[in-house]
Homo-oligomer: A and B are copies of this chain.
Amino acid sequence: MARSGVPPSGGGGDKAVRADARRNRASILEAAEAVFAEQGASASTEAVAAHAGVAIGTVFRHFPTKPDLLQAVVMNLLDRLITEVDAMVENQGAVTALFEFCTRVMAVSARNRAVLARLAETGVQVRVGDALTRLRPAIDVLLERAQKAGTVRGDLLPTELVALLAALCQGALTDAWSEPFRQRMLTLLFDGIRPTARR
């Protein structure tokens, strides 16, 4: 699947993107998030264009199809969440434990449930897993540290942890898990991850 948006220049950090183009792209994304959050993903592209203060053709120049636009909105949102979590990990430094980390990931994604659910409702792929992949560096470190400390079973692969965490986040999103319930689910997950059960 090709990364949507930005028709010109396929590569990484090509220059020569006109200022107005960048500005409009940003406005459109912002407008789209607001409009979709309010009216659901079935809101018309015209509405988005109007809200962003551009003509409809401009929207389609940046995001050739409506799914592309929706996808971009989700990506943008998840990116921000990821950044937020990443910052938290940085700030906490070596102290942040794996459990704490998972708790935060779930909390952060659950906080934006309104928008995300609204989008998912009307057919957007909200792939938490894909987003989590961008946290892999942090996850790798935390997991290895936990395994060295003996608080997590040694045969657990990062991929597996990501899959489980993604599944729980997804569940929390679609089924609107409450904060205590999320905590409980994590506890259950971790008691299965621990090498020695104490109960």
Contacts and interface: CB of A to CB of B under 8 A. Distances in A.
Interface in A89-146: 120-125, 127, 129
Interface in A40-91: 41
30 contacts: A41-B123, A120-B123, A121-B125, A123-B124, A125-B174, A127-B174, A129-B175, A153-B191, A153-B199, A156-B188, A163-B175, A163-B185, A164-B185, A166-B171, A167-B167, A167-B168, A167-B171, A167-B185, A170-B170, A170-B174, A188-B189, A188-B192, A189-B189, A189-B192, A191-B193, A192-B192, A194-B197, A195-B199, A196-B197, A197-B197
Nearest to A153: B199
A22 interface: no
> Which of the four size classes fits the interface of chain A?
35 or more
Contacts of A163: 171, 175, 177, 181, 185
A71 to B, nearest CB: 12
